[in-house]
Amino acid sequence: MESSLAKLIGILVIAVLTISCAGDQGAVGPAGEQGPVGEQGPEGEQGPEGKQGISGPSSITFTPNDMCCTQGDNVSVTTILQDGWYNQVLLMPEQTVNWSIAKIPLGLSPSWADSSELRMTVFYSVSSVGGEIFLEPGIATYNSGDTMSTEGYSQFSCLTPEATNTIYSESWDMTDQLDSAEFMTIALMRYTVEGGSSRCEDSSAADVYIHAVSLEFIP
């Protein structure tokens, strides 16, 4: 029994020595430094360029001076008094033996020549009311080397304005006369030969005042 007790005491002594020899818990070390930021990835490629949108219509307006004059056209630029105001106009007088023609030259850009639609508009007034006024628009187109010719008249209007000192407008679709060309002449004719035409009586005794003519080229 003494031997057993001695062994137990020895075991306890060894355990105490073991515990007493263990050091205290060391302090927690500092956190490691942040690693470096990764490099920027390569930039993506440029996307494809979008298609060009469709252009809108373009127009050009001609004044009375732009439309005047050649010998025998029976038109003139003049200043008239209308409702207390002076206006410059192209005069197409009433007559019984001839007609009045205003002509306009115009160089054509490729986009104009290739338009899908061409509209011509005249802005006019009259010296008196009553009867019909016969107006015809015409166009001739040319490329370099073409022989000069007269304008083709495929449209017409019988106008019956109801008041003086008043601006009126009349428009025509001239698309069927527009060719892919470099140059064109535009004509506006008032037919005043006595007896008129089978298409229009032209019975008005008024002078016609042209204030402007515009062309609209629609892509």
**124 three-class SS:** strand
Q: Print pLDDT tens along the chain (219 aa).
A: 555 544 544 444 444 434 444 455 556 556 667 667 767 767 767 767 755 444 567 999 999 999 988 767 889 999 999 999 999 999 999 887 788 999 999 999 999 988 999 999 999 999 999 999 999 999 999 999 999 988 988 899 999 999 999 999 999 999 998 888 999 999 999 988 766 677 887 788 999 999 999 999 999
Contact 139, 113 (CB under 8 A): no
| pLDDT for res 47 | 62
| pLDDT for res 218 | 94
Pairing of strands 85-92, 208-218: antiparallel
Element (H, E) at 113: helix 110-113
| pLDDT for res 96 | 75
| pLDDT for res 29 | 56
- Domains of the chain plus CATH, in order, are 64-218 (2.60.120.200)
| pLDDT for res 53 | 44
d(CA 126, CA 164): 6
| pLDDT for res 19 | 43
